[in-house]
Copies of this chain bind each other. A is one copy, B any other.
Amino acid sequence: MVALTPSPQRQRRKEARPQELLRAALELFVAKGFSATRSEEVAARAGVSKGTLYLYFPSKEELFKAVVRNNIASLIAEGQRIADAFEGSSEELLRLLMHAWWRRVGDTDAGGIFKIIMAEVRNFPELAQFYTEEVIRPAYRLVSGTLQRGIDRGEFRAVPVREATQMLIAPMLLQALHKHSIGACGTTGLEIDPPRLIDAQIDLTLHGLRSAAPTKAPRAQKVASR
């Protein structure tokens, strides 16, 4: 009755399916939000039928969680690994982490996850807990840990760590949110080149952070002048 197509898709290996579906789901969720994305669209974009999606994910909500896990968990771990192994100055480490984050997350569809979370978390209470544990806490630990390292080594002043962490994270997170909301709709004429923002941010913040009197602090000058 329907068997007109010899269904070449059948050939594809079962193992590849989840990733294909997750990629399709990420793109659609980022573009349209969770509830505005229809399951069938996700399946179609992954090149399979509606039913196949449900072979791999028991519900749209679980698909969503899998998308979050798949695109965030690994990145946090990776950053922490880099930090743990790092041997240079704390300022260099901050720059490294932030640039890496932008390249790998902010500038990617993965960055759109923050928008989805922000938009939908109140309708999926269990997601809140998950997101707090898996994303917020580890990310906070990574950044505040680096600040503390700088303070302990006498590179930074003894600033309030919690607030400073917030200040370092916020602009980049907002860049990511922007990129997937207004930023995706056209130009405002006020666009900022994110890498430039990152450097400006560190420069400005470090004027505040950097310990007061390395006497002639030649390095600070150089950084600021860049």
Q: Which residues of B contact A115 (CB under 8 A)?
A: 118-119
Q: How far is the CB of A65 from chain B (nearest CB, A)?
A: 14
A4 interface residue per 8 A CB criterion: no
Chain A 149-193 interface mask (CB, 8 Å, partner B; 1/0): 011001111111011101100110110010011101110111010
Q: List 30 A-B contacts (CB under 8 A).
A: A118-B181, A118-B182, A119-B120, A122-B181, A122-B184, A128-B182, A132-B182, A132-B188, A137-B188, A154-B214, A156-B209, A157-B207, A157-B212, A157-B217, A157-B221, A158-B223, A159-B200, A160-B204, A163-B200, A164-B204, A167-B167, A167-B204, A173-B174, A204-B205, A204-B209, A206-B223, A207-B208, A208-B209, A208-B224, A219-B224
A79 interface residue per 8 A CB criterion: no
Q: Which residues of B contact A185 (CB under 8 A)?
A: 121-122, 125, 128-129
Residue of B nearest to A35 (CB): B35
A160 CB contact (under 8 Å) in B128, B200, B205? B200
- Do the beta carbons of B33 and A123 come within 8 Å of each other? yes
Residue of B nearest to A30 (CB): B122
Q: How far is the CB of A165 from chain B (nearest CB, A)?
A: 9
Q: Which residues of B contact A136 (CB under 8 A)?
A: 182, 188, 190
